Structure 1
Amino acid sequence: MFVVILRFSENRERMGELMDAHKAWAKQGLDDGVFLMIGSLQPGLGGAILAHNISRQDLESFVDRDPFVAERIVTVEILEITPSKTDERLAFLSAV
């Protein structure tokens, strides 16, 4: 599983013009079953995504297609996590 950190960069002022395309990209990740959670980093620092069921290479490729990434509205950090213990409600995350 992965945590994707999207931190606002110097081009943040262009965010509004690309918001619809960014939301469509995020919806695609949810619809594909890759994104489990999308949220905002507080206070107004950017966003974070919990992703699974995808290889790192494919996730990097998908993240690169985010208009916010392509237009350098955000910088990206992808953290890969190998779950060793989970609450039983999240057991599906370690069943890889």
Structure 2
Amino acid sequence: MYLINLRYTGALAEIDDALEEHRAFLERHFAAGVFVMAGPKVPRDGGVIIATGVDRERLDAIIAEDPFARQQLAHYEITEFKATRLAPGLNLPEPSTP
């Protein structure tokens, strides 16, 4: 699994202009099963995405498609982790295979 930490580098007006396209990007990858959680930070200086089921090379290619990345509006920090504990009632996604 991956924790993707976005930090906005563009002005909020630029972020807002690209937001609809960014949300469509998120939706595509939720539908594909790659993104399992996403949302804005508080305060609104970036966002967080949890991804699974892909290798790092593929994830990097996916992130490069994000309108925020294409327009250089955000910096991405990606941390890979192995989820070994989960709150009761939640399902852990199947691990990806290299």
Deviation of the 1:12 alpha carbon: 3.9
The 1-side partners of 2:78 and 2:29 are apart by 15
Structure 2 match to 1:75: 75
**TM-score scaled by length of structure 2:** 0.84
Match of 2:77, as an amino acid?
E
Residue by residue, what CA displacement relative to the aligned partner does 1:17-70 show, whole Å, maximum 9, x if unpaired? 211111110001100001110111111111100100011110110011000111
Larger mean CA deviation between 11-20 and 86-95 belongs to: 86-95
Structure 2 match to 1:57: 57
Identical pairs, percent: 24
Question: Contact 1:18–1:67 at 8 Å: present in 2 too?
Answer: yes
Q: Secondary structure at the match of 2:48?
A: strand
Match of 2:40, as an amino acid?
S
CA RMSD of aligned residues (A): 1.9
**TM-score scaled by length of structure 1:** 0.86
Q: Number of residues paired by the alignment?
A: 95
Question: Contact 1:4–1:51 at 8 Å: present in 2 too?
Answer: yes
The 1-side partners of 2:96 and 2:74 are apart by 32
The 2-side partners of 1:62 and 1:14 are apart by 21
Match of 1:80, as an amino acid?
E
After TM superposition, where is structure 1 displaced by more than 2 Å over at least 4 residues in a row?
Answer: 10-13, 87-96
Query: 1:76-95 to 2 correspondence within 5 Å?
Result: 76-83=76-83, 85-87=84-86, 89-92=90-93
